[in-house]
Amino acid sequence: MHARSGALVAVGLVVALAFIANVGSAMAPGRAAGRIYGDGELWATFVTTGLKAGPEGSFNLLYSFPGTGLISVTDSVPGDVDYRGGRWRVFAVTFTGIEPTQFTNDADVLHHAALGHLLISAEPVSYVSCPLFRL
């Protein structure tokens, strides 16, 4: 009897770990009306809560484009080894040398900032928690 209950616990643990590992690839819940681009892919999201500042390593970067209607861009998505589960340091991006343009990856944001086309806020404008879900 103990062997059988141990086996059931082990199976339950494997199922739970598989669920946790696949949360980022789960289909988006209905309330995930927000969108974020990362690595060239559009993701669904919703803001669960604002956060207080913390160690840089516990957050990913999110570039927002206030006043433009453009979709924010992140440096990490589910499946990346550095993805922090949807904890973001949000930086405001202002267009200075080009017309507002929708970027789909952080490399393009950083490239255009280096060219002087964009200004990225020196400090985060906010800290938020919003998980990403596949569309």
Does 97 fall in a domain?
yes
Taking the whole predicted model, whether its pTM rises above 0.95 is answered as no
Tokens of 68: 């433009």
Give the structural domain span for 115. Answer: 28-134
Does 44 fall in a domain?
yes
Does 129 fall in a domain?
yes
- Phi, psi dihedrals of residue 131, rounded to the nearest 5°: -70, 155
- Give every residue of the chain whose pLDDT is below 70, as ranges: 1-31
The predicted pLDDT at position 42 comes to: 97
Overall domain count for the chain: 1
pLDDT digits (tens, 9 = 90+) for 86-124: 999 999 999 998 999 999 999 999 999 999 999 999 999
List the helix and strand counts (H, then E) for the chain: 2, 9
Does 4 fall in a domain?
no
Measured CA to CA, the distance from residue 94 to residue 100 in angstroms comes to 9
